[in-house]
Amino acid sequence: MGLNLVVMVKQVPDTQNVTGNAMKEDGTVNRGALPAIFNPEDLHALEAALTIKESVPGSRVHVLTMGPPTAVQVLKDSLYRGADFVALISDRRFAAADTLATSYALKCAIEKIGDYDIVLCGRQAIDGDTAQVGPQTAEKLGINQITCVSEIVDLDPDTRTITARRSIEGGYEKIKAAFPVLLTITDEGFTPRPPSAIRMMTYKNATTAMSGGDYDETYLTGGAELKAENAISLWDSNAIGADPEHCGLAGSPTKVKTIDLVVLKSEDIRMIENSDEAISDMVHELVADHTLG
Ligand SMILES: Cc1cc2nc3c(=O)[nH]c(=O)nc-3n(C[C@H](O)[C@H](O)[C@H](O)COP(=O)(O)OP(=O)(O)OC[C@H]3O[C@@H](n4cnc5c(N)ncnc54)[C@H](O)[C@@H]3O)c2cc1C
């Protein structure tokens, strides 16, 4: 029997190609001045899911993004590359979400899909940069997680287990986990495949369908027939059964006090000896000047 795979992807401003007016005077990102792209590591997460699908016949790849209507572009791109089902999670109630409110909405959407085996996402988004959304979503779903995955070493649909290689400082470790499991994927492996020309021709005019009820299999795009009509499901907060108190601004305890522009100069870098004593001294110093703690 195939596996149900869910990939979380984010549309982000292209912070890797920053031009003159990319920052506002208050130090925040001027999103309008930067092209919107598929978060780079999320493309690797999608590739990991498509690779698993190819190795376990009958599997399905579902792609979810929470964002404004313009975020459909990453969903179309996912369809071009081979996704079977895509949904845009969008509602004014989700505006100004911090990572807790974002992972809450994603958790609700994943539960709407229901019978999932593996959830995949990028390790980190290049705009928010927190790397919190994956682990928080796993926590909220109450499932296993393996972070910073660069390779899937073994996957056994019969025992419902996966062994993955994860990057750690100065090396790697292998972790085995039972399904359901969430993986956060780095850009070290799973080189994204190019979009398929046939799928691009089909889905370039893909339309969005409001889907308020249960997860609706009629929206699955896989199989022999590819059709653009209603290929993108649109889920608002009601459709995913989200409590408005946990969404968007209402569900975001994070408060930004000030934003400082930090420009590192070479003299800001200090190398320390690789010993417990040197590291302990450094930590004490950082706590004393309130950088940590
Ligand atoms: C202090 C602070 C204040 C903020 N205030 C605001 C605010 O007022 N208004 C506002 O709009 N934003 C705000 N944000 C940004 C918002 O919290 C993040 O955009 C969002 O929560 C995702 O966090 P991240 O970008 O750090 O993702 P990460 O945790 O780095 O992302 C990891 C992975 O999770 C997945 N993922 C992340 N976000 C999504 C998504 N939306 N849909 C699908 N998958 C996703 C992707 O696979 C991604 O690679 C704030 C962030 C911080 C840190």
Distance 239 CA to ligand 1 centre (A): 21
Write the CATH number for 210.
3.40.50.620
Q: Would residue 73 count as lying in a domain?
A: yes
Please tell me the distance from the alpha carbon of residue 23 to that of residue 101, in angstroms, as a whole number.
Answer: 25
Q: Would residue 285 count as lying in a domain?
A: no
Q: Would residue 292 count as lying in a domain?
A: no
User: What is the pLDDT tens value at each position of the chain, 293 positions in all?
Assistant: 899 999 999 999 988 777 767 777 666 667 777 889 999 999 999 999 999 999 999 999 999 999 999 999 999 999 999 999 999 999 999 999 999 999 999 999 999 999 999 999 999 999 988 999 999 999 999 999 999 999 999 999 999 999 999 999 889 999 999 999 999 999 999 999 999 999 999 999 888 887 644 455 554 554 445 677 888 999 999 999 999 999 999 999 988 787 777 777 767 778 889 899 999 999 999 889 887 76
- Decide: 97 and 137 in contact? Cβ < 8 Å: no
Atom of ligand 1 nearest to the CA of 121: 47
Q: Would residue 159 count as lying in a domain?
A: yes
Structural domains of the chain, count? 1
Q: Would residue 126 count as lying in a domain?
A: yes
Q: Would residue 148 count as lying in a domain?
A: yes
- Decide: 37 and 9 in contact? Cβ < 8 Å: no
Closest-CA residue, ligand 1 atom 27, reads 125
Residues with CB under 6 A from ligand 1: 8-10, 39, 41-42, 45, 64-67, 96-99, 102, 106, 121-122, 124-125, 127-134, 254, 256
Backbone angles phi, psi at 159, to 5 degrees: -85, -5
Q: Would residue 212 count as lying in a domain?
A: yes
Q: What is the pTM of this model?
A: 0.87
Q: Would residue 288 count as lying in a domain?
A: no
Which structural domain, as residue segments, surrounds residue 15? 4-251
